[in-house]
Structure 1
């Protein structure tokens, strides 16, 4: 890692440290209803082999997704660059009686032995990475033979006039209703310039990463139904802009 890359990752970690206090309260990040919780678990159950599995939630944040696997009886390890996100994750796991383990580290290069996990999962991470292709290769390394990689991401900004208009209206309404700048905490232009998928990751690009890394049985699932459940819990000012392409890509290690 170059000095510049290290500085960028430290800056990103500080941004997520600040976001940790409110992250789970944001629709689309924290799970806001039992219906959404069960929907996520049903999606994941259909992708998992039988038995108690070792799961790595890479770029876990507050481990909202990883702890769903703990609820299903699996052992979860969470990895993140942000100490404050990890503190939230530990608190949540402890409160719910899970034996989950949390470690600070780089999502692009997980500091674990090869073939350590049955499942590697992440949500809303791939778009934040400077080297997503390298990350997918390294996630494969820590998977056992037959292990599964599950990545949830979306296209957050397709550049269309409709999307720009929806965001402007939503941001203005949020500014009026909540008396806060909804864009505070967004990445700077300097950081954005280092991210090849800064507007989100189309499913075609995700499939490309998986296939280039040599995963087999690669599948792409539309998460439109989960988005609809999330929107039910949102105020109108948030629903205006919540119009993304949202998907899960899954693959198995040979």
Structure 2
């Protein structure tokens, strides 16, 4: 199953950053994310694990904040994109970031070596999210923090389907192409506990069961509005973000 999941993201890697909410579009959004992360981090230079790093967007932000980052992902093609992006962005500046292949559910690291574990758009994709959160706590040092950014996707609501149809029609009309979307096949979706995304209450439940404390559910509306400003009209009409950031501490 993990090989099948990796294959889906290998295919998606070519256009992943083009999808709304994935690639960071411009310096305003970039600085908004960095300001938010900085407000949540302990002082000093930190060891950061970007679990399920994808094309490296979030890991690069943490490196720009002066931290050492390890990006981990199952998809070799996602990692290739991340490495290529890092080379492009490091012209004249050396960021302390490395990428390696591995299972984000079971990070192949010793216990207690990271100050931060961060994930974005990952938790919903995992067959065993509760186990993953426990394992992320294991690799954190005492006083370390976890930051999970996720949301609700493909919920099947009539409103969303209608908005998606209108957006697809406009893309077909203007660009003369149908905007196909890569989704998990049923054989994978049927094995996932959160195939349509993870609501905040569920993420908080995972955190509590793992023993994290000082848990916070933070609003991402400001960043969502910045993202929306960069979108074409046909994307804006379907973009209705339901993203959240859940924070916790290993005390």
Range into which the TM-score falls when normalised by the shorter chain: over 0.9
SS of corresponding position for 1:91: helix
- Aligned equivalents of 2:141, 2:19: Cα separation in 1: 34
Gaps in structure 2 of 5+ consecutive residues: none
- Aligned equivalents of 2:9, 2:178: Cα separation in 1: 17
- State whether residues 57 and 79 of structure 1, in contact with CA within 8 Å, keep that contact through their aligned partners in structure 2: yes
What is the aligned partner in structure 2 of residue 154 from structure 1? 151
Deviations 1:174-220 (A, max 9, x none): 33434444344211111111111111111111111101100000000
Instruction: Count matched residues.
Output: 247
- Aligned equivalents of 1:172, 1:212: Cα separation in 2: 44
What is the aligned partner in structure 2 of residue 106 from structure 1? 103
Deviations 1:13-69 (A, max 9, x none): 112112212222222111011111011011101100100000000000011011100
- State whether residues 27 and 233 of structure 1, in contact with CA within 8 Å, keep that contact through their aligned partners in structure 2: no
Task: Say yes or no: does 1:193 pair with 2:186.
Answer: no
Provide the TM-score with structure 2 as the length reference: 0.94
- Aligned equivalents of 1:180, 1:251: Cα separation in 2: 43
Farther-moved stretch of structure 1 (71-80 vs 17-26): 17-26
Task: Say yes or no: does 1:26 pair with 2:23.
Answer: no
SS of corresponding position for 2:245: strand
- State whether residues 67 and 96 of structure 2, in contact with CA within 8 Å, keep that contact through their aligned partners in structure 1: no
What is the aligned partner in structure 1 of residue 7 from structure 2? 14
Task: Say yes or no: does 1:249 pair with 2:246.
Answer: yes
- Aligned equivalents of 2:3, 2:52: Cα separation in 1: 14
**What's the Cα RMSD here?**
1.3
- State whether residues 69 and 76 of structure 1, in contact with CA within 8 Å, keep that contact through their aligned partners in structure 2: yes
Task: Say yes or no: does 1:204 pair with 2:188.
Answer: no
What is the aligned partner in structure 1 of residue 35 from structure 2? 42
Gaps in structure 1 of 5+ consecutive residues: 1-7
Deviations 1:112-158 (A, max 9, x none): 11111000001000011111101100110100011000000111244
Task: Say yes or no: does 1:133 pair with 2:127.
Answer: no
- Aligned equivalents of 1:177, 1:191: Cα separation in 2: 34
- State whether residues 126 and 201 of structure 1, in contact with CA within 8 Å, keep that contact through their aligned partners in structure 2: yes
- State whether residues 73 and 100 of structure 2, in contact with CA within 8 Å, keep that contact through their aligned partners in structure 1: yes
SS of corresponding position for 1:152: strand
Task: Say yes or no: does 1:81 pair with 2:78.
Answer: no
Provide the TM-score with structure 1 as the length reference: 0.93
What is the aligned partner in structure 1 of residue 61 from structure 2? 68
- Aligned equivalents of 1:246, 1:222: Cα separation in 2: 8
**Does the C-alpha gap of structure 1 residues 11 and 179 become closer, same or farther in structure 2, counting only changes over 3 Å?**
farther
What is the aligned partner in structure 2 of residue 92 from structure 1? 85
What is the aligned partner in structure 1 of residue 160 from structure 2? 163
**Does the C-alpha gap of structure 1 residues 84 and 242 become closer, same or farther in structure 2, counting only changes over 3 Å?**
same
Runs of 4+ in 1 over 6 A off after TM superposition: none
